[in-house]
Amino acid sequence: MNYLTLIMAIPLLGAALIATLPQSKSLLAKQFALGTTLIAAVATIFMTTKFERSNTALQFVESYDWIKAFGIKYAVGVDGIALVLILMTALLTPIVVLAGWNESEGGRWSTKTFYILILVLQTMSFGVFAATDVFLFYVFFEAMLVPVYFLIGGYGSGERSAAAVKFLLYSLFGGLLMLASIIALYVLSGEQGGHTFDIEALSQLEMSSTTQNLLFLGFFIAFAIKAPLFPFHTWLPDAAKSATPGTSVLLLGVLDKVGTFGMIRYCLSIFPEASKTFTPLIITLSVISILYGAFLAIGAKDIKRLIAYTSISHFGFITLGIFAMTTQAQSGATLYMFNHGFSTAALFLVAGWMISRRGSSTIADFGGLQRVTPVMAWSFFIAGMSSLALPGLSSFVSEFLVLVGTFTRYPVAAVIATFGIVLAALYILIPVQRALHGPTEPGNENLKDLNLREKIAIAPVIAVIVVLGFYPSPALNIINPAAAQVVSQMGFTDPLPTHGGK
């Protein structure tokens, strides 16, 4: 059964169906979009149940020739890491559709177009995580920029087109650097037994260390921009501020994961030596990102920018975990990607509701929401607690795994990174205090609390956050073998306890 192609096809079919609807039936378009994403989610969950957790090989593999002249294949397959990210995408999209039911209405174009873009984006996202052919990956990687670009520029607010352009140019720039590396890989593979883009085959290539380092950088910078890692992050706050909340969720929750996912899937496996060479640098950048993003978040005055900055900090943790090269950090990083998707989704969706009710995204314009709109305030609070990695919520597990895993190999980095948890308390509690606590500011008295649709949308997100906080095993069991595989393929074993055994 070609599950992966199937789940990629479902949104595309839905998009085609919506395209046939008349312009005026915007409600129908929304319902179709929700239905499609729900079907895709169910299909993905079903696929997840068929996944053999103990098997570290790629599963649900499909491979067909695409461009034979270049050895390019339509090849897909997932390991545990890719699977959880696909699952996350599949779960988040219907939530985004439901949560942002009216998001498309302030846009430049029709509702129909909005949902077509969303669905196309979903297909691309599945593809980018599932691809096992570097070229196919690149195609999805670049092509998914286009729907996001139109989603930001067409349906966002404020300086939306400037933000969309900034996003696109940043990403394209990174993408082109990656393209240069891909070209080099292609040529190298041609010299060493036939052109191919298969990851497995590429990871066997012989390269001089200079070549490897340069090519690694091509990939890594592309991913660092996407992730985003300091100092390549400045597109994110603008994009997140201008995009609709739903788009922001997909942007930060799904799209940015491509960066960190790419680091695992491509940087590590194809350039193991270069990865080791650059590890000190990357760890440094990650730690800087953690603290830097946190400080920026503390200083942020706009709630959406704040969330974007927190993500920079969180992506620092993820990158740190990836390059720490211990099973704990690796699993933690992947779990972090999954969890971050949901906690950011919760933050953005609730922030979006707050903003749409208040008509402002400046934190100072809120105040006392806890008394006016308790459910909304609580949702925001829980999301915030998840963001600051409160134990008992899902992010804690992943953040702690990253830290503890990093500590065994890079104690200094882990120690500095840990300061991020104090800063996290600041950047979450400051907006909580300003927006939710305090006296009810004028203009906020009559805000409406969440309606049923919004409650239905946020409930599963919070449920995931809480359940995985207490019982992360379902996710970890999928991730662990793949993460361990990554670490062992890199030739690393976990550092042993320095004193005594268990």
Partner 1 sequence: MLVNNGLVYLIALPLFGSALLLLAGRRADRWGHLFATAMSAMSFVLGAVQFYEMLGRDAENRAVTQKLFTWISVGSFNVDAGLLLDQLSICFVLLITGVGTLIHIYSIAYMDHDKDRRRFFAYLNLFIAAMLLLVMGDSYLNLYVGWEGVGLASYLLIGFWNQKPAYATASKKAFIANRVGDMGLSFAIMIAFATMGTVSFIGVKEAAEGSSQGALTAIGLMLLLAATGKSAQFPLQAWLGDAMAGPTPVSALIHAATMVTAGVYLITRSNFIFDAAPTAQLLVVIVGAITLLFGAIIGTAKDDIKKALAASTMSQIGYMVLATGLGPVGYAFAIMHLLTHGFFKAGMFLGAGSVMHGTGDEVNMRKFGGIRHFMPVTFATFGLGYLAILGVPPFAGFYSKDKIIETAFYSGGIKGILIGSIALFGAALTAFYMTRVMILTFAGTPRYDINNPPHESSFLMLLPMGILAIGSVTSGFLLARGEALVHWLEPLFHAHEGHGPEILPPVVISLMALTVVIIGATFAWFKYGRGPVADTAPTNVSIFTRIARRDLLQDDFNESVFMRPGQALTRLIVKTDDVVVDGTVRGVAAATLGSGAALRTSQTGFVRSYAALIVIGAIALIAAIWAVTL
Partner 2 sequence: MSEFISPTLSYSLLSPILVVFAGAIIGVLIEAFASKSIRPIAQVSVSIGTLVLALVQVWRIRSSSSTTAAMGSVIIDGPGLLLQGSILIISIIAVFLIADTENFAAAPAAIPGSSEERESIARGQQVSEVFPLTLFAVAGMLIFPVASDLITLFVALEVLSLPLYLMAGLSRRRRLLSQESALKYFLLGAFSSAFFLFGAAYLYGYSGSISFAGIRDAVVGGTGNDVFLLIGIAFLSIGLLFKVGAVPFHAWTPDVYQGAPTPVTAFMAAATKVAAFGAMLRIYYSVFANAEWSWRPLITGIAIITMVFGSLVAISQRDVKRMLAYSSIAHAGFLLTGVIALNKAGLDASIYYLFAYGIASVGAFAVVTLVRDSAGEVTDLNRWAGLGKRSPWVATSFATFLLAFAGIPLTSGFIGKFSIFSAAYESGATAVVIAGVLSSAIAAFFYIRVIVLMFFSDPLEDATSVLIPSILTRITVLFSVVVTIFLGVFPSPLLDFISNIAIFIR
Does 188 interact with partner 1 (rule: CB under 8 A)?
no
- Closest CB 168 distance from partner 2, rounded Å: 6
The closest of 309, 311, 377, 350 to 458, measured between CA atoms, is 350
Spatial separation of the C-alpha atoms in residues 322 and 316, rounded to whole Å: 10
Is residue 332 within the footprint of partner 1 (CB under 8 A)?
A: yes
Residue from 19, 183, 364, 412 touching partner 2 (CB under 8 A): that is 183
Confirm if 268 and 192 have CB atoms less than 8 A apart: no
Instruction: Show contacts with partner 1 in window 42-71 (CB under 8 A).
Output: none
Instruction: Determine if 372 is a binding residue for partner 1 (CB under 8 A).
Output: no
Instruction: CB nearer to partner 2: give 180 or 447.
Output: 180
Of 137 and 366, the one with the shorter C-beta distance to partner 2 is 137
Cα–Cα distance between 13 and 66 in angstroms, integer?
Answer: 21
Q: Does 16 bind partner 2 (CB under 8 A)?
A: no
Question: Of partner 2, partner 1, none, which one sits near residue 146, judging by CB under 5 to 8 A according to partner kind?
Answer: partner 2
In the complex, minimum distance from the CB of residue 139 to partner 2, in angstroms, rounded to a whole number:
4
Torsion 139-144-145-146 (CA) sign = positive
- Residue 191, classified by CB atoms within 10 Å of its CB into exposed (0-12), middle (13-18) or buried (19+), is exposed
Applying CB under 8 A, among 51, 66, 101, 400 the residue interacting with partner 1 is: 400
Of 341, 346, 334, which Cα lies nearest the Cα of 476? 334
> Does residue number 419 form part of the binding site for partner 1 (CB under 8 A)?
yes
Candidate list 54, 194, 208, 499; residue touching partner 1; CB under 8 A: 499
Contact between 303 and 431 under an 8 Å Cβ cutoff? The reply is yes
Work out how close the CB of 418 gets to partner 1 at its nearest, in angstroms, rounded to a whole number. Answer: 5
Segment interacting with partner 1 (CB under 8 A) among 30-38, 91-99, 178-186, 372-380: 372-380
Which of the residues 75 through 134 are near partner 1 (CB under 8 A)?
none
Q: What is the DSSP letter of 494?
A: P
Amino acid at 379: S
H or E element at residue 77: strand 72-78
Secondary structure letter of residue 359 according to DSSP = T
- 232: helix, coil or strand? coil
Would you count residue 210 as binding partner 2 (CB under 8 A)?
no
How far, in Å, CA of 265 to CA of 242, rounded? 30
Round to whole Å and give the CA distance between 447 and 410: 48
Q: Is 71 a residue that touches partner 2 (CB under 8 A)? A: no
Q: Which does 154 bind (CB under 5 to 8 A by kind): partner 2, partner 1, none?
A: partner 2
Name the residue among 338, 299, 343 with its Cα closest to residue 321: 338
Contact status: 42 vs partner 2 (CB under 8 A): no
> Is residue 408 involved in binding partner 1 (CB under 8 A)?
yes
Interatomic CA distance for residues 101 and 17, integer angstroms: 19
Q: Which stretch binds partner 2 (CB under 8 A): 136-144, 237-245, 286-294, 307-315?
A: 136-144
Q: How far is the CB of 247 from partner 2 (least distance, A)?
A: 15
Q: Does 502 bind partner 1 (CB under 8 A)?
A: yes
Q: Which of 12, 18, 121, 164 binds partner 2 (CB under 8 A)?
A: 164
> Tokens at residue 96, please?
């985004």
- Which chain residues interact with partner 2 by CB under 8 A? 65-70, 108, 138-140, 142-143, 145-146, 150, 153-154, 160-161, 164-165, 168-169, 172-173, 176-177, 179-180, 182-184, 186-187, 190
